[in-house]
A and B are shown apart, each in its own frame.
Chain A
């Protein structure tokens, strides 16, 4: 069968899977909405998020659905425009992390021996060093980080967990017969790796992408919250920073502080739900069991049989 048709079948299978699993459904819908908001913020909000032209500290009203900040900015617009940073960081860091962890994990598993030992040691050391303090130290020296520095730092600290997981799975697949058969046919190593070894690991790779993205969302938000991001950009984390620094909670502007948190939590939850759904694909034993359904079946049969 042609590779294209196999790919088509896989995508259809994925689509069916997403539709059937409630968690995946909810997660994908939320993620989709947030991505649209991130790409086209002007569809959803009229006001300029940075404009400090409204009455500061105003409560909820029809023109300011979430109130205004103590500088007179519209909270709702900030929320909408802030999506871009968070969503993009999540996806970009997720992508880079995945590429690195696949490269390292699969190479280590496939090569074995000294290469494996060295790569594994490297992976484990990075895994063990506390990432958040390290990120803080690096961005502190840079006196506030640009978007790409944050991406670089997050990727540097985030790839190791996935690499470990992928290595374990690649190891278990490496000695399967079909791989040995491919080698016996004389196929080149890179062919065996990309065409035969990686496809069965797809669900784990996707799960890793999602968890790296989740990590990026939370870590970048945290960095911006403590003021180590670029405090002049619009993002949910910086909203929280300004809210905290202006004592939003204590001065009766709770939404300024709580709304961006909800947004981050939404994006995070979407990623986490999808991640879990893909985990269940790799390990069917984790799928939900309905005892009620079982008992109903057994009752029915006892009456009949």
Chain B
């Protein structure tokens, strides 16, 4: 329990750091983008909307830096993220909400699938040391993991969509389809999701496989695995309950850290495929200089990562009794 509380505290500190970065970066860059943005808008929008922007941005013009900061913190924590300039007059929150399910579906599912398959393959590869799987996997995946995510996406598009025409090239769904809960639409969504998901899984799976394999190799050499063999336990049981269970613990910790890579990969994949998720939205926001949207997306992504880390901490606590009981 104490372990989880400590982790929660740490994650909150990280969140605070992200919020602070978000606030100070535009003010520190040359040209003070925050101010210049406000200047652009002053002439074009009605005073009420302008006020809303100021509040969201924390740019009050007449306030001190410190009080702007706290106002910004207050607003953000209350969910007031401001108004999007590229989707004006929609609020940032509503714009994000539209894109959120697409990312959750694509990225969330692909990551989980990649993690499960990758960890299982890595465990089996290490279990049969010296077997065929173990000798081709490491070099193959080392090389694949060095491929840029987005390039694999481009390759996939060129190969499967343009040349073989098996899958659509871009988008989350066809331009002619209407958004509704109907079978044709769902089917359409799924066909559009195959290539992006495939790209994400292919590029991230190597990491999971290699990490798990390396952990397993260390664990399999441990005495308690030898002991399990001495006890005459079935191989299956040894593999999963003795070796796998212990080898997965560092993988879980690593999961948290590699989330950063998965997120960046997902952003690029969405961009390459024009998939209407948060990553695509972020890059659009950059191109249209929609700073409120951009900032909020950064925050949201950070929160998602921190949450995922917390979940993996919970799973670790469940699997490893040493973290639960602290004398």
Are chains A and B native binding partners rather than an unrelated pairing? yes
Chain A stretch 270-291: residues in CB contact (< 8 A) with chain B: 270-273, 275-276, 283, 285-286, 288-291
Given contacts A269-B142, A285-B218, A289-B130, contact A137 B25 (CB under 8 A): yes
Is the pair B14, A129 in contact by a Cβ cutoff of 8 Å? yes
Partner among A128, A221, A285, A286 whose Cβ is within 8 Å of the Cβ of B148: A221
B134 within 8 A of A: yes
Q: Taking the complex as formed, is B158 at the interface, i.e. its CB lies under 8 A from any CB of chain A?
A: yes
- The answer to whether residues A240 and B158 also contact, given A128-B306, A130-B260, A294-B130 and a CB cut-off of 8 A, is no
**Do A23 and B26 contact each other (CB < 8 Å), given the known contacts A141-B33, A249-B158?**
no
A273 touches B297 (CB 8 A): no
Interface stretch (choices B193-201, B239-247, B263-271): B263-271
A204 to B11, CA, bound (A): 28
Let me know if B138 and A226 touch, CB within 8 A.
Answer: no
B151: Cβ under 8 A from any A Cβ: yes
Alpha-carbon gap, A288 to B135, bound state (A)? 7
A161 within 8 A of B: yes
8 Å CB contact of A132 from B18, B264, B289: B264
Chain B residues in 8 Å Cβ range of A265: 143, 146-148, 151
A225's partner among B142, B158, B268 (CB-CB below 8 A) is B268
Interface string of A115-150 (1 = CB under 8 A from B): 000000100110111111110111011110000000
Contact segment of B78-86, B175-183, B279-287, B315-323 = B279-287
Q: How far is the CA of A249 from the CA of B260 in the complex (A)?
A: 29
Within 14-44 of B, Cβ neighbours of A (below 8 Å) are at 14, 17-18, 21-22, 25-26, 29-31, 33
Residue of A nearest to B297 (CB): A133
Count contacts between A and B, CB distance < 8 Å.
Answer: 167
Which candidate, A2-10, A71-79, A173-181, A256-264, is the interface stretch facing chain B?
A256-264
Q: Tell whether B302 is near chain A: CB-to-CB under 8 Å.
A: yes
CA distance A271 to B18 in the complex (A): 31
Is B282 a contact of A133 with CB atoms below 8 Å?
Answer: yes
How many Å lie between the Cα of A134 and that of B20 in the bound state?
A: 12
B125 to chain A, nearest CB (A): 12
| B4 at interface by CB-CB < 8 Å | no
Name the residue of chain A whose CB is nearest to the CB of B283. A226
Q: Does A222 contact B (CB under 8 A)?
A: yes
Interface size class of B (residues with CB under 8 A): 35 or more
Interface centre among A121, A222, A288 (most CB of B within 10 A): A222
Given contacts A128-B11, A140-B286, A290-B130, contact A134 B151 (CB under 8 A): no
Name the contact of A222 in the complex, choosing from B25, B149, B260 (C-beta under 8 A): B149
Binary CB contact string for chain A from 225 to 257 against chain B (1 if under 8 A, 0 otherwise): 111100000000000100010000110001001
Contact A128 B309 (CB under 8 A): yes
With A228-B286, A257-B158 known to touch, is A273 a contact of B143 (CB < 8 Å)? yes
Known A-B contacts A249-B157, A261-B154, A272-B143; the reply to A137 vs B268 at CB < 8 A is no
Whether A136 pairs with B139 at a CB distance below 8 angstroms is no
Known: A130-B259, A269-B143, A288-B135. A250 touches B169 (CB 8 A): yes
Residue among B26, B139, B221 with the most chain A CB within 10 A?
B139
CB pair B147 A268 closer than 8 Å: yes
Please state if A269 and B264 are interface contacts (CB–CB under 8 Å): no
Q: How far is the CB of A24 from chain B (nearest CB, A)?
A: 11
B interface, CB within 8 angstroms of A: 10-11, 13-14, 17-18, 21-22, 25-26, 29-31, 33, 129-131, 134-135, 138-139, 142-143, 145-151, 154-155, 157-158, 162, 169, 214, 217-218, 221, 256-257, 259-260, 263-264, 267-268, 271-272, 282-283, 286-287, 289, 291, 294-295, 297-298, 301-302, 305-306, 309
The 11 listed contacts between A and B (C-beta, < 8 Å) are A23-B139, A121-B13, A129-B21, A130-B298, A140-B294, A141-B25, A214-B146, A272-B142, A286-B214, A289-B129, A290-B135
Known: A218-B146, A291-B129. 7 other contacts (CB 8 A): A129-B260, A141-B33, A258-B158, A261-B155, A269-B142, A272-B143, A289-B129
